[in-house]
């Protein structure tokens, strides 16, 4: 209809304004809130309801386009009013930027409607006819075309927001801006069209830069994601090849997998290649861990067999009363047990309890026997102490050596009959018995030395030699050999001294 607006009555006019996208209707707002740019063609006129010919006082009128005036002498029949517009569907969660305000143009600055209803847009190059208004007052007409400009400006602002927020495809925003630029010269709107054109040109010009920025950011994100997955894959390969701390290594592989799933932005080909590395490393780790535990199971089964054999030997020895040798054998069995390794966890403790029970039987019997023996030894010690006390008083070799010998022989016979004593008293009691024996032996040695024939003969020889030298000295003096006599007298004195010493030694004994 080339921008011409017709209206039949006030109600129809309201319905018309509610259904046109130029009014900023709820449907249009819903589409914008849902993140969809409603590319309304502003060059198309709003749908109009035909009405009967106007009267001088009625607001009902027939508006015709500037290029085709309407004859008031032959009005067309009045049509039935159309249905009231229904609200559009409720939008979902917005996925793109939402315009927070609507641009409200001042239509008086940028356009006018003349007396004949022709609508004019003011531009830098002059006025341009954009349509005809016959549906109401001039103010209503200006508001109508201003709202259509606001709707177009809203679409431009949505495109700007999309570029600023870098949501969606900048190429699509660029294409939408070019489409609006192409239609802008024929748009039936009143507003700052020149400014709107500059904004659209800015969108077209900046879209390539924004697209390149987004591409670079995505490439960086992809490179970072690839690098991180490379690090994770390398770590997984190290774990798969070398790790032997199975619990912590298995936990780390699961942590790597959780982090792996959170990393986005890697292309399918690269991601598949990296995933194959991780999966291969994980499989290698699982194979090594499975082989380790299989070998461990075999070793534990062997340890179980060895320990069962040791238990059988321990049970055979448990009834022995050969305390010393059997104790040594049990020590050997325990050393073999420690060297046999661990049996399966569910049986190892039970095996140990069986082995320990056999040990306890033997060592319990040995301890009972030791307790009985210790009581006997303690009684023996008490008796030996009493025997020693009596012997130490009765035996006196200095008074009567023969009587002392008889007492000691009687003491020794009684001592041997009393038997063993506790280990901690053995040395002290034996020392007292040896001291008693030493007293008799020392007395015997002293007596022998006093009656030693060799000592007496030696003393007599020394005296005889002294007498011979004294006789020779006397004869030398008689012959006048005084020097020889003096020398012989000195020698005789020396031998006499030795003879006296020998006699004194025998006497002192």
Structural domain count of the chain = 3
Q: Which of 177, 195, 217 is the last residue of a domain?
A: 217
| Locus of tokens 């304004």 | 17
Strand order in the sheet with 118-123: 4-5, 126-133, 118-123, 111-113
- Report the largest interatomic distance among the alpha carbons of the chain, rounded to a whole angstrom: 216
Among 184, 217, 250, the domain-final residue is 217
Strand 126-133 versus strand 118-123 pairing type: antiparallel
* Per-residue pLDDT at 81: 37
Q: Give the residue ranges of DSSP H helices in 121-263.
A: 138-165, 170-183, 193-242, 246-262
Identify the domain containing residue 484 by its residue range.
Answer: 453-508
Instruction: Based on the fold, state whether residues 335 and 418 are members of the same structural domain.
Output: yes
138 with 35, same domain: the answer is yes
Residue 257 lies in a domain: no
Are residues 4 and 134 in contact, defined by beta-carbon separation less than 8 angstroms?
yes
Does 197 lie in the same domain as 89?
yes
pLDDT on residue 451:
61
Whether residue 290 is found in the same domain as residue 431:
yes
Decide if 262 is inside a domain.
no
DSSP string, 163-197: HHHT-S-HHHHHHHHHHHHHHGGG----S-HHHHH
Residue 230: inside a domain: no
Are 81 and 148 contained in the same domain? yes
The per-residue pLDDT for 252 is 95
Residues in contact with 79: Cβ distance below 8 Å, sequence separation at least 6, in sequence order: 8, 49, 50, 51
Shared domain for 474 and 399, answered yes or no, is no
Whether residue 45 contacts residue 3, with contact meaning beta carbons closer than 8 Å, is answered with: yes
Residue 35 and residue 162 in contact, taking contact as beta carbons nearer than 8 Å: no
Neighbouring C-alpha atoms within 13 Å toward the C-beta of 217:
8
Is residue 244 one of the residues assigned to a domain? no
Q: Looking at the domain assignment, is residue 420 inside a domain?
A: yes
Q: Are residues 79 and 99 in the same domain?
A: yes
Statement to judge: residues 383 and 482 lie in one domain: no
Residue with tokens 């349509």: 131
Residue by residue, what is the 3-state secondary structure of 489-504?
HHHHHHHHHHHHHHHH
- 61 DSSP β-pair partners: 7
Q: Is residue 301 part of a domain?
A: yes
Q: Which of 448, 467, 489 is the last residue before a domain boundary?
A: 448
Q: Tell whether 256 is covered by a domain.
A: no
What is the full per-residue pLDDT of the chain (509 aa) written as tens digits?
445 444 333 333 333 333 333 333 333 333 333 333 333 333 343 333 333 333 333 333 333 333 333 333 333 343 333 343 343 333 333 344 444 444 456 788 899 999 999 999 998 889 999 999 988 899 999 999 999 999 999 999 999 998 888 888 888 998 999 999 999 999 999 999 999 999 999 999 988 888 888 888 888 999 999 999 999 999 999 999 999 999 999 999 999 999 999 999 899 999 999 999 999 999 999 999 999 989 988 988 899 999 999 999 999 988 898 888 999 999 999 999 999 888 888 888 999 999 999 999 989 998 888 888 888 888 888 988 998 888 888 888 888 888 888 888 888 888 888 888 888 888 998 898 888 888 888 887 777 766 666 766 777 777 887 888 888 888 888 888 888 888 888 888 888 888 788 777 665 55
Is 224 part of any domain? no
Structure tokens at 178: 């070019």
Q: Are residues 422 and 478 in the same domain?
A: no
Q: What are the residues whose beta carbons fall under 8 Å from the beta carbon of 187, sequence distance 6 or more?
A: 42, 43, 130, 148, 149, 152, 193
What are the tokens at 334?
Answer: 């325990």
Same domain, 274 and 180: no
Tokens of residue 362, six digits: 């033997």
- Same domain for 502 and 444, yes or no, is no
My answer on whether 284 and 368 are in the same domain is yes
């Amino acid at each position: 209809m080339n921008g011409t607006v017709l209206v039949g009555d006030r109600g129809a006019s309201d319905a018309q304004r509610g259904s046109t996208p130029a009014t900023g209707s709820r449907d249009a707002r819903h589409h914008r809130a849902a993140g969809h740019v409603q590319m309304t063609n502003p060059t198309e006129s709003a749908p109009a309801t035909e009405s009967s010919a106007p009267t001088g006082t009625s607001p009902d009128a027939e508006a015709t386009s500037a290029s085709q005036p309407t004859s008031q002498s032959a009005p067309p029949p009045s049509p039935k009013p159309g249905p009231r517009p229904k609200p559009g569907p409720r939008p979902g969660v917005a996925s793109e930027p939402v315009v927070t305000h609507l641009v409200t143009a001042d239509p008086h600055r940028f356009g006018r409607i003349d007396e004949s209803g022709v609508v004019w847009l003011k531009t830098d190059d002059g006025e341009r006819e954009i349509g005809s208004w016959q549906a109401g007052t001039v103010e209503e007409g200006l508001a109508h075309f201003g709202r259509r400009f606001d709707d177009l400006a809203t679409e431009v602002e949505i495109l700007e927001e999309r570029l600023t927020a870098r949501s969606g495809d900048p190429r699509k925003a660029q294409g939408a801006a070019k489409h609006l630029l192409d239609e802008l010269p024929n748009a039936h709107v009143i507003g700052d069209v020149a400014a709107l054109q500059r904004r659209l040109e800015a969108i077209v010009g900046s879209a390539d830069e924004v697209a390149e920025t987004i591409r670079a950011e995505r490439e960086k994100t992809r490179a970072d994601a690839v690098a991180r997955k490379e690090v994770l894959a390398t770590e997984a390969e190290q774990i798969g090849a070398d790790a032997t701390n199975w619990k912590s290594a298995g936990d780390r592989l699961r942590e790597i997998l959780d982090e792996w799933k959170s990393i986005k932005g890697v292309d399918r080909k690269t991601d598949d290649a990296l995933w194959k590395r991780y999966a291969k490393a994980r499989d290698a780790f699982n194979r090594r861990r499975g082989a380790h535990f299989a070998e461990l199971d075999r070793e534990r089964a062997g340890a179980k067999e060895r320990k069962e054999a040791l238990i059988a030997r321990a049970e055979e020895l448990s009834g022995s009363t050969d305390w010393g040798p059997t104790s040594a054998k049990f020590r050997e069995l325990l050393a073999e047990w420690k060297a046999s390794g661990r049996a399966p966890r569910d049986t190892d403790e039970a095996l140990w309890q069986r082995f320990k029970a056999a040990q306890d039987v033997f060592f319990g019997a040995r301890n009972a026997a030791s307790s009985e023996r210790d009581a006997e030894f303690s009684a023996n010690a008490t008796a030996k102490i009493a025997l020693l006390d009596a012997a130490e008083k009765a035996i006196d070799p200095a008074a009567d050596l023969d009587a002392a010998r008889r007492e000691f022989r009687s003491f020794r016979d009684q001592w041997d009959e009393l038997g063993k004593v506790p280990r901690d008293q053995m040395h002290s009691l034996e020392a007292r018995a040896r001291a008693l024996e030493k007293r008799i032996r020392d007395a015997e040695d002293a007596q022998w030395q006093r009656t030693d024939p060799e000592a007496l003969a030696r003393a007599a020889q020394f005296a005889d030699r002294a007498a011979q030298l004294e006789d020779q000295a006397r004869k030398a003096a008689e012959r006048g050999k005084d020097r020889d006599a003096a020398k012989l007298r000195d020698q005789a004195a020396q031998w006499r001294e030795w003879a006296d010493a020998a006699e004194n030694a025998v006497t002192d004994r």
